Amino acid sequence: MKNILVPTDFSIRSMGYVHSVVEKQNGEPVNIVFMHALKMPDSIIDLLQFARGSRHYDLITDEFREACEILKNKYASAIGEIKVEFFVGTTNAAFRNFLLANEVNAIACPTENTYELPSKASFDPCKLIKKCKYPLVEVQSVTRKPSYIRASISDLLLANT
């Protein structure tokens, strides 16, 4: 079973890429790894708190969790597992190690650049993804609303597959 990495900003719009990923796998089951990129803390105090606590897990909203359950149910035969992983770092070597540790086979690369930063430690992983030389799966979100209109969970349910 393939592991496909999908970069996420924990918005419903980023969950919409899963539809394209499933379509492009031609019935082969996949595991989805939602990845959120975070910069390493600058100060030693922040680093100590970062390692001890899990404040970055607060970025995952209840709406995002609910949408994950909807996708699991909607694509029960096509998706084996959906998980969220945090990549901490900004270097290509660290990103390659992250991909190897999560046994990623391909990366879903969004055709549009609408990544929003949910925290001050977050960053857009687009440059790292393009430099990593992993197989890319170009995807489009099923939520084709203008960026100023927020996508909703109902958009995931109504997506045609």
Q: In angstroms, rounded to a whole number, what is the distance separating the alpha carbons of residues 31 and 45?
A: 36
Is residue 7 one of the residues assigned to a domain? no
Is residue 149 one of the residues assigned to a domain? no
Residue 142 and residue 15 in contact, taking contact as beta carbons nearer than 8 Å: no
pTM of the model: 0.83
Q: Compute φ and ψ for 3, nearest 5 degrees.
A: -105, 120
Is residue 159 one of the residues assigned to a domain? no
CATH number of the structural domain spanning residue 73:
3.40.50
Number of domains in the chain: 1
Residue 79 and residue 110 in contact, taking contact as beta carbons nearer than 8 Å: no
Is residue 155 one of the residues assigned to a domain? no
Tokens of 69: 């359950």
Structural domain of 135: 12-142
Is residue 67 one of the residues assigned to a domain? yes
User: Tens of pLDDT along 110-141?
Assistant: 877 778 888 888 999 988 998 988 998 888 76
Is residue 49 one of the residues assigned to a domain? yes
